[in-house]
């Protein structure tokens, strides 16, 4: 049986880099923040929830972090987060667009969804990613380049039913990744995505009644038959943020234990 990866092993591949992670207060976002800090990056934890616990975890592990309150749907709050990052750490090299809505959604037939359900999901998962990329591109250009890493989902590849608005939003994130890669490549800004499978995060634990069936079924669909945890996502993010992916852009890395063979 496979075991979870060890993404928090110390490294120096991101030494001197500054990373801004949206949705970094809990779950996958927190794991990414700790993992990037373990690779040497200074990390800004941006979330509308209190980022303090993540900042404390990074600092406990010997890293350097800054917490900022920011809702990715609010353009001015993102601008403030970017200003705080530049003022504290001198610039931005890495953006991880992790903030998103999933675990709180109730799976069901598409005809029961309404326009407001769609708007809520698209505003966070798609427009929020766009606004964050827009906010960081100036500082990245000033540094001579950067990395934008969008957190997508395997639902967009598999066409997962009964979550049409979520599945569609992650398909849009993948399309955005490709289009931004073409638009920003001349600036030395590489844009890639990581597409996780169903991950047992804090949000999933908090909404067990809504996603219990998905959690039960997920391990059996994988080659590596175990639950996926937030730390499993971090290795791919570290790779895309670091020097060993310098000739990759517009790509998506699937991390799901072999449920979808991309």
Q: Is 6 part of a structural domain of the chain?
A: no
Instruction: Encode burial over 179-212: b for 16+ CB neighbours within 10 A, e otherwise.
Output: ebbeebeeeebbbbbbbbbbbbbebbeeeeebbe
Active site residue: 89, 102, 157, 166, which one? Answer: 166
Q: Is 158 part of a structural domain of the chain?
A: yes
Is 162 tagged catalytic?
Answer: no
* Tens-digit pLDDT profile for residues 16-66: 999 999 999 999 999 999 999 999 999 999 999 999 999 999 999 899 999
Residue 255 pLDDT:
98
CA atoms within 13 A on the CB side of 151: 33
Q: Is 155 part of a structural domain of the chain?
A: yes
Long-range contacts from 87-91, C-beta under 8 angstroms, 24+ separation: 88/44, 89/18, 89/42, 89/44, 90/18, 91/18, 91/139, 91/140, 91/142, 91/143
pTM beyond 0.75: the answer is: yes
Poorest-pLDDT segment among 38-42, 174-178, 258-262: 258-262
**What is the span of the domain harbouring residue 119?**
18-255
* Tens-digit pLDDT profile for residues 88-110: 999 999 999 999 999 889 999 99
Q: Is 215 part of a structural domain of the chain?
A: yes
Q: Is 29 part of a structural domain of the chain?
A: yes
Q: Is 45 part of a structural domain of the chain?
A: yes
Q: Is 183 part of a structural domain of the chain?
A: yes
Burial degree of 229 (CB within 10 A; 0-12, 13-18, 19+): middle
Supply the CATH number for residue 51's domain: 3.40.50.720
């Amino acid at each position: 049986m496979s075991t979870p990866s060890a993404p928090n092993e110390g490294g120096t591949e991101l030494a001197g880099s500054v990373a801004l992670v949206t949705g970094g207060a809990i779950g996958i976002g927190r794991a990414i923040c700790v993992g990037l800090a373990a690779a040497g990056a200074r990390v800004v934890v941006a979330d509308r929830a209190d980022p303090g616990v993540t900042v404390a975890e990074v600092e406990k592990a010997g890293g350097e972090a800054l917490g900022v309150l920011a809702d990715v749907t609010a353009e001015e709050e993102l601008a403030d987060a970017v200003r705080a990052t530049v003022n504290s750490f001198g610039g931005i090299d890495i953006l991880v667009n992790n903030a998103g809505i999933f675990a709180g959604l109730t799976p069901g037939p598409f005809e029961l969804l309404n326009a407001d359900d769609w708007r809520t999901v698209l505003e966070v998962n798609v427009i929020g990613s766009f606004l964050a990329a827009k906010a960081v591109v100036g500082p990245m250009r000033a540094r001579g380049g950067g990395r934008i890493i969008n957190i997508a989902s395997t639902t967009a590849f598999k066409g997962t039913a009964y979550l049409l608005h979520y599945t569609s939003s992650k398909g849009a994130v993948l399309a955005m990744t490709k289009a931004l890669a073409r638009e920003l490549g001349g600036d030395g800004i590489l844009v890639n995505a990581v597409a996780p499978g169903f991950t047992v995060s804090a949000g999933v634990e908090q909404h067990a009644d809504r996603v219990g069936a998905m959690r039960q079924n997920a391990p059996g669909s994988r080659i590596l038959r175990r639950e996926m945890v937030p730390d499993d996502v971090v290795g791919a993010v570290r790779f895309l943020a670091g020097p060993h992916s310098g000739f990759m852009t517009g790509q998506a890395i699937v991390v799901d234990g072999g449920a979808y063979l991309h």
